């Protein structure tokens, strides 16, 4: 159907309908839409769904494109990712192996443990954990008692060829000596005052002397800020150093990735911001 050119030009001169988006970094983005269209409502609804999802899988990162995962069960997806990291992609996770607690697997360095399958050891850790292959579940239970909230060092990512890992844990309660066969870096991202305060209530900090062939990341802070208090800073951005915090996290992440990729070393990340969120 032919359109009326004059009507089209008149609509162009009409005031545009605006949609304003304010980011957490205080940047403001304004979208302009033609009048008498539903574009603004469609965009608003899409942004609202992505920023206020009813479930985890509604986040944009999961819905922006086709997913290689055929199921949305987070426990099945976790196991499939573990199998991939261990070079066992031929194994597929299923509800039956979870119910029977028969999902254990391993490579020459690491294994999937069922020690926390009922969340009795550490309620805030996943039901399946990647741990050193030659450490028994009983030793894992004993080691967990030396960590705040029983969050012992577990593997978050494993290099499929070198076996180098990125691990996470909470603060130690007492020293624990571990014999490592490969170079271990300890990345403690807390400010010194936080570590000292935690020591006063029975907590502590990682010491390279407790680990064979280990080295502590230089400095007590990444950017001089308290990474675990960033959520409180959002409500008072002015003077909070929010962008410095973000820069520090990115710089620390790049440092960790470089140690794993360039040196085939393992890294233990020790900070509430990294291990609990």
Query: What is the DSSP pairing of strand 184-188 with strand 214-216?
Result: parallel
Task: Determine contact, residues 107/85, Cβ cutoff 8 Å.
Answer: no
Please confirm, yes or no, whether 271 is among the known catalytic residues: yes
Task: Determine contact, residues 133/139, Cβ cutoff 8 Å.
Answer: no
* 185 Cβ neighbours under 8 A, 6+ residues apart: 214, 215, 216, 217, 256, 259, 265, 266, 267, 268
Residue at token pair 């965009």: 43
Distance CA 56, CA 61 (A): 10
Q: 268 has which bridge partners?
A: 167, 186
**Per annotation, catalytic residue among 122, 150, 158, 271:** 271
* Positions marked catalytic: 271
């Amino acid at each position: 159907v032919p359109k009326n050119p004059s009507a089209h030009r008149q609509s162009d001169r009409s005031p545009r309908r605006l949609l304003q988006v304010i980011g957490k970094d205080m940047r403001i983005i304004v979208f302009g839409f033609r009048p008498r269209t539903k574009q603004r409502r469609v965009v608003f609804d899409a942004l609202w769904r992505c920023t206020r999802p009813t479930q985890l899988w509604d986040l944009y990162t999961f819905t922006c494109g086709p997913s290689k995962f055929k199921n949305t069960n987070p426990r099945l997806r976790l196991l499939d990712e573990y199998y991939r990291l261990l070079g066992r992609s031929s194994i597929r996770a299923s509800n039956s192996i979870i119910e029977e607690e028969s999902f254990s697997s391993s490579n020459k360095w690491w294994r999937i443990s069922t020690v926390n399958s009922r969340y009795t050891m550490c309620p805030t850790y996943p039901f399946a954990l990647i741990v050193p292959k030659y450490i028994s579940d009983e030793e894992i239970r004993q080691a967990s008692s030396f960590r705040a909230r029983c969050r012992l060092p577990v593997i978050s990512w494993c290099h499929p060829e070198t076996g180098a890992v990125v691990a996470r844990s909470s603060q130690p309660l007492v020293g624990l000596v571990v014999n490592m066969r490969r170079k271990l870096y300890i990345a403690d991202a807390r400010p010194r005052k936080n570590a000292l305060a935690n020591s006063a209530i029975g907590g502590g900090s990682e010491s390279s002397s407790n680990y064979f062939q280990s080295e502590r990341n230089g400095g007590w802070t990444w950017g001089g800020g308290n990474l675990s208090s960033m959520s409180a800073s959002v409500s008072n951005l002015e003077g909070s150093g929010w962008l410095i915090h973000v820069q520090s996290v990115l710089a620390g992440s790049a440092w960790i990735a470089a140690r794993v990729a360039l040196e085939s070393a393992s890294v233990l990340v020790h900070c509430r911001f990294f291990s609990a969120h």
